[in-house]
A and B are shown apart, each in its own frame.
Chain A
Amino acid sequence: EVQLVESGGGLVQPGGSLRLSCVASGFTFNSYWMHWVHQAPGKGLVWVSRINSDGSSTDYADSVKGRFTISRDNAKNTLYLQMNSLRAEDTAVYYCARDAYSFGATDYWGQGTLVTVSS
């Protein structure tokens, strides 16, 4: 059974940092591109970032470019999102998701981890 389990969310002050983790199981992690997507409370989905299967290529939304870094450790079946210089508008549930066909469509999602940026 495919599972994605996020962790690392919490309350952080503006300007602070957090690192989110997503542990994958039930599939060959190093064969799949992976994504992060966020959703502010009561709002829609916002794509954040993606990384290719070996970690050599990454893409970001303009709103996080230069502040967030996506990475992966294929030996640990783990995806990461390093979030620096956090802003109030980064407050959201963050989901990791598996790219189904290297096409951008994501077929499995974690349960999400809540990041709250507030003083």
Chain B
Amino acid sequence: DIQMTQSPSSLSASVGDRVTITCRASQSISSFLNWYQQKPGKAPKLLIYAASSLQTGVPSRFSGSGSGTDFTLTISSLQPEDFATYYCQQSYSTPFTFGPGTKVDIK
């Protein structure tokens, strides 16, 4: 199975900050990498698919990059509604493993 890691596991940031979250796969997954946002008590929301494609309706301050084993989610200017937990997921091969999550909270 492909293992996914994320760093950091948590971070504190202020509104307006640029935030970067890293995801690494245990083997190459080409661009089969997705990013989700989850708020407490809610279902996850798809932000980015295929490593860099912005899901319809998601603000352009979110962006994704990378291929192979190393990927990045960037929030260009953190907004109050962005405080949440972020998960990466590989969809290169089943089982479609998720990373452990990165919790973004208010500094």
Contact = CB atoms under 8 A, between A and B. Distances in A.
A45 B34 CA distance: 13
Which of A44, A95, A101 gathers the greatest number of chain B CB atoms within 10 Å? Answer: A44
A84 B59 CA distance: 41
Contact of A50 (B38, B96, B98): B96
A50 B95 CA distance: 9
25 contacts: A44-B87, A44-B100, A45-B38, A45-B101, A47-B89, A47-B94, A47-B95, A47-B98, A50-B94, A59-B94, A59-B95, A62-B1, A95-B43, A95-B44, A100-B49, A103-B49, A104-B89, A104-B96, A105-B89, A105-B91, A106-B34, A106-B44, A107-B55, A109-B43, A109-B44
B57 to A, nearest CB: 10
B91 A111 contact: no
Nearest to A45: B98
Contact of A45 (B46, B49, B87, B92): B87
A61 interface: yes
For the residues of B in contact with A, the DSSP-based class is: loop
A61 B94 CA distance: 7
Interface of A: 35, 37, 44-47, 50, 59-62, 95, 97, 100-101, 103-107, 109-112
Interface of B: 1, 32, 34, 36, 38, 43-46, 49-50, 55, 87, 89-92, 94-101
Which of B49, B90, B92 gathers the greatest number of chain A CB atoms within 10 Å? Answer: B49
A101 B32 CA distance: 12
Nearest to A104: B91
B87 A105 contact: no
A12 B19 CA distance: 42
Contact of A61 (B46, B95, B99): B95
Contacts of A101: 49-50
B85 to A, nearest CB: 8
B46 A105 contact: yes
